Each structure stands twice: as C-alpha cells, then as structure tokens.
Amino acid sequence: MDLKLSGRSALVTGSSKGIGLAVAQWLAREGVHVGLVARSAERLEQEAAALRRATKVTVRTLAADLSDAAARQRVADAFPDVDILVNNAGAIPGGTIEEIDEAAWRTGWELKVFGYIGLTRLYLQKMKERRRGVIINIIGAGGERLDYGYIAGAAGNAGLMGFTRAIGGTSPDFGVRVIGINPGPVLTDRAEVLGRKRAARLYGDENRWREGFAQMPFGRPASPDEIAAMVVFLVSDLSGYTSGTIITIDGGLTHRSRPL
C-alpha cells in the first residue's frame, strides 16, 4: 500500500532491534529516509547496511545514550529537519516497590520517560516553526493495565500517556500531531530473555519459555511488524486527523477479565 510517504524523513530511537527496527524497516519500504539511533554503533550500522541494500532511501545512524540530555541535543543537531519522530528507546525494569530501588527506578525513567520528554521538547519546537510533523511515542500497555509488580513501568508509562495526550491536544494548532501507541506483549529479544527466566523459575527449564504464550490473546504475543504497521499508518496523511490519543495494540489484554 502506497501511503504517499516517499521523500519524507524520520528519526527512530531504539532502532537497532525489536519494535524500533521494524518501524525503521517499514518506513524505509514506504520511501522514508530514516535516521537510526541506539546505544550500539555496531548493531546500528549492520541494520543500516541491510536497509540500504533493500531500499533506495538514505539511512543514517548515530550511537547515543538518550538518558543523557547532551546526547539528545547531539541527536537533534545531527537530524535537525525530520518530518517524523518515533520515540521508542528504553525499557523500565519490572518489580514491586520493594524490589525496585531508587537507583534502578531513576535509571529506567531517565532513558524512557525523560528521554521521550526531552526529544519531544527539542523536535516539537522545530516542527512548530515549520508547521508540520508527527511525533509517535511507543509507550506500553503497562500504563493502562496497572500492576503492582511493574510499579516503575506502570507509573512511567501512565505519565507518558498523559504527556502525549496533553501535548497532542494542542499541537494541531501549529500543524503537528502527537500520538501514543501502547503495545502489549511483543515478541522481541527482551521478551524472550524474560520468558526464559520465567520458564526456568516455573518449570526448571528455560527452553519451555514459549509455553507462557498459552494464556495470551490468540495464544501469542504481537509481532514487531504489527506495531510498525500501525506506526506507518498513523504518520501518513490518511491519519491526518489523529492527535492526542493513545492506540493500544494488545489483543484485548488490558480489558481481559482477571481471575477472582
């Protein structure tokens, strides 16, 4: 499907693997020039080379730790004129308030919560001046299905949901759209690592990690492509009246009844 995105430019953070990489691949196939940002320079360049071979778009990379404000500014300086910003970098650790100490809590929030806020601040100003642009925040259904065992993520994601809605409610006044996506379980490298730990704890065999899918909607997690497809649609003009809202992609899990 031609979404008429050819020739536009995008910056995708956390794009060396998982959802971020899938988003970059889908955008590139639509003719969008992409900037890839993540911590691993080697992994970024490997994926960028593959994208260059598969598409005709310009692909640039920059290794950066987006928990650092100076690094965020370097990213904005290196990619100053993008039409699309996809905030995706970061994962907040799981655990209860007793298990997650302040240092771990702050580390998770510096990258994901303040990383998203910081880059949005930088790019929103640029987009306001040009009176065009789209910002997509990949947040997480943990901000809706609030869980004591994911307390730092629940609070952080809920905060980013409020941030996205508040910014996106006003940004159309200057031609900019801001939207959030809340993925539920997604089959990424991190999901496999966590699944193996859970299987080792429950069954004494980490290789049984896929058995945990049985209780998920449709008996499986989402694929990164299913999230990326929504991103590509939302940044297109076909979704030009969408701003200040959150799209949840979790197979209905957030609203599934829990056992009494």
pLDDT truncated to tens, each residue of the chain (260 aa)?
A: 689 999 999 999 999 999 999 999 999 999 999 999 999 999 999 999 999 999 999 999 999 999 999 999 999 999 999 999 999 999 898 889 998 999 999 999 999 999 999 999 999 999 999 999 999 999 999 999 898 988 999 999 999 999 999 999 999 999 999 999 999 999 988 778 777 877 887 888 889 988 888 888 999 999 999 999 999 999 999 999 999 999 999 999 988 876 44
In this structure, what token pair is assigned to residue 82? 């993008």
> What pLDDT sits at residue 198?
76
- pTM beyond 0.85: yes
The strand order across the sheet containing 246-249 reads 59-63, 33-38, 9-13, 84-87, 133-138, 176-183, 246-249
Residues paired with residue 84 on neighbouring β-strands, in sequence order: 10, 134
- CB count in 10 Å sphere of residue 198: 15
> What pLDDT sits at residue 260?
42
> What pLDDT sits at residue 258?
64
> What pLDDT sits at residue 212?
82
- CB count in 10 Å sphere of residue 233: 15
> What pLDDT sits at residue 122?
98
- The CATH architecture assigned to 9-186+226-243 reads 3-Layer(aba) Sandwich (3.40)
Write down the domain spans for the chain. Answer: 9-186+226-243, 188-221
